[in-house]
Amino acid sequence: MTTLIKSPVGRASARPGGRRPLTHLQRDALAGYLFVAPQVLGIAAFVLVPLALVIYFSFHEWNVLANTFTFVGVANFERFLADPQVAPVMRTTGIFSVALVFFNISLALLLAVMLNRSLAGITFFRTLFFSPVVVSLVAWTIVWGFLFQDNGGVNGALELVGVDGPNWLREGPTAMVAVVIVQVFKNVGLNMVLFLAALQGVPQELQEAARMDGAGPRTIFTRIVMPLISPTILLTFIITIVGSLQVFAQIAVLTQGGPGISTTVLVYYLFQQAFLFGEFGYGSVLSLVLFLIVLVLTVVQWQLRKKWVFYEN
């Protein structure tokens, strides 16, 4: 039997001068819009509007002191292509990112595997390795700056074992090593916790079954554990790569991009151009380049996930 239900909207519309009440669907939609509104407003204010302004500024030359703002077409983009500093800066950025991702992910995974067991006092070690994550980045970097001085703690420790340490922050190759070390130890705890959570989600019965089938620890790790935690590996890769491309405070505090320009990564170069030299137009072009690099790397990794992330196929 079909029952015809009279629409409440029809009744309401008949009220003289009354406001039409919202339908159930409209109320749901309104609630939804209100829930996402803060996020949408935040993204608009802090991402979309600045991005639009950066694109706008990149076509202009803005002399802050002279208070002039001139349209220069694609001159800033042409300058980027002809800038002799861009190639070494990109190379430095690449070296830093690759080194950071490799050592951070490897060390985090190693620590997570070592700490993924039920032993007395294991919580202490987990807390110990995670603690740098919650320390102020600048304070952390300043302390490491003292340790890496020529007569600092690192060389003092090396001297105890008969090694004459280098002048870490004053020689190109070692300055980069020092910056990578500072950043790896700062954030390895975060990736370690993510891996630890993923490892604890790997079903024990699968590992036991593999063991009964004659698989050794290495095979179990590479064939059972790694595929199961591959979504977390993907996540940490994306987070770490994006983070490595945004490194700034460590460079500013430890080396100011030196010696020479051996530790001048793209973000620091951008900062120099825009804020030290007042070249806001050219700085905007560099921002766009950085944005595109992060976007492309993220999209590529996201697309590649189907090939190497276990759950995606």
Partner 1 sequence: MRSAKMLTAVGLLAGTSLLLAGCASSTPAAEPKNVELRMTVWTANEDQLALFDDIADQYIAEHPEVKSITFEPLPFEDYTTTLTTQVAGGKAPDLAWILENAALDFVDSGALAPIQDTLEKTDGYEFDDLSDAATALWQKDGELIAYPFSTSPFVMFANDDLLRAAGQPTAAELQAAGKWNWEGISEVGAAVNAATGKAGFVVRDFDYTSWDNLASVWMGWGAEPWGDDGASCEFDSPEMVDAFTFLHEAAFDKKSMPGPGTTADFFAGESAFTVTQISRASVLPDSGFAWDLLPLPEGPEGEYSMVGQAGIGVMATGKNAPVAADFLAFFSNPENSKKLAQWFPPARTSQLSTETLAAANPVLSADQIENVVIPGIETGVVRPGHTDSAKVGQTVRAALDAIWTPDADIEESLIGVCDAVEPLLGK
Q: Please identify, using beta-carbon distances, which residue of 231 and 259 lies nearer to partner 1.
A: 259
Question: If DSSP codes are grouped into helix, strand and coil, which group holds residue 104?
Answer: helix
| Residue 68 main-chain phi, psi, to 5 deg | -120, 145
* Residue showing tokens 């202009």: 60
Indicate the residue type of 15.
Answer: R
**Residue from 80, 248, 278, 294 binding partner 1 (CB under 8 A):** 278
SS3 content of the chain, % helix, strand, coil (to 5): 75, 5, 25
Work out whether 272 is an interface residue with partner 1 (CB under 8 A).
yes
Of positions 40, 44, 64, 143, contacts partner 1 by CB under 8 A: 64
281 contacts partner 1 (rule: CB under 8 A): no
Q: How far is the CB of 182 from partner 1 (least distance, A)?
A: 15
Candidate ranges 30-38, 130-138, 142-150, 193-201; the one touching partner 1 (CB under 8 A): 142-150
Of the residues 34, 66, 82, 161, which one makes contact with partner 1 according to CB under 8 A? 66
156 near partner 1 (CB under 8 A): no
276 within 8 A of 61, measured Cβ to Cβ: no
Q: Which stretch binds partner 1 (CB under 8 A): 2-10, 62-70, 119-127, 192-200?
A: 62-70
Which of 76, 89, 12 lies closest to 274, judged by CA?
Answer: 76
Residues in contact with partner 1, total (CB under 8 A)? Answer: 28
- Of 28, 78, 150, 312, the one binding partner 1 (CB under 8 A) is 150
Question: Quick one: 115 or 169, whose CB is closer to partner 1?
Answer: 169
What's the min distance (Å) between Cβ of 271 and partner 1? 9
Look at the chain and count its residues.
313
Q: Can residue 67 be called a binding residue for partner 1 (CB under 8 A)?
A: yes
Picking from 86, 113, 137, the residue whose alpha carbon sits closest to that of residue 261 is: 86
Rounded CA separation 228/309 (Å): 8
Residue given tokens 């980045």 in the structure block: 137
Q: How far apart are CA 230 and CA 113, in angstroms?
A: 14
- Calpha distance 188→248 (Å, rounded): 17
Q: Is 70 helix (H, G, I), strand (E, B) or coil?
A: strand
Question: Which residues, 244 to 263, sit near partner 1 by CB under 8 A?
Answer: 256-261
Residues 58, 62, 140, 233: which binds partner 1 (CB under 8 A)? Answer: 62
Residues 160-179 that bind partner 1 (CB under 8 A): 167-171
Would you say 186 and 137 are in contact if contact means Cβ atoms under 8 Å apart? yes
d(CA 32, CA 45): 20
Q: Minimal distance in Å, beta carbon 258 to partner 1?
A: 5
Does 298 bind partner 1 (CB under 8 A)? Our answer is: no
Instruction: Show the tokens assigned to 7.
Output: 């629409």
Give the shortest CB-171-to-partner 1 separation in angstroms: 7
Q: Can you give the binding site for partner 1, defined by CB under 8 A?
A: 62-67, 148-152, 167-171, 256-261, 272, 275-278, 280
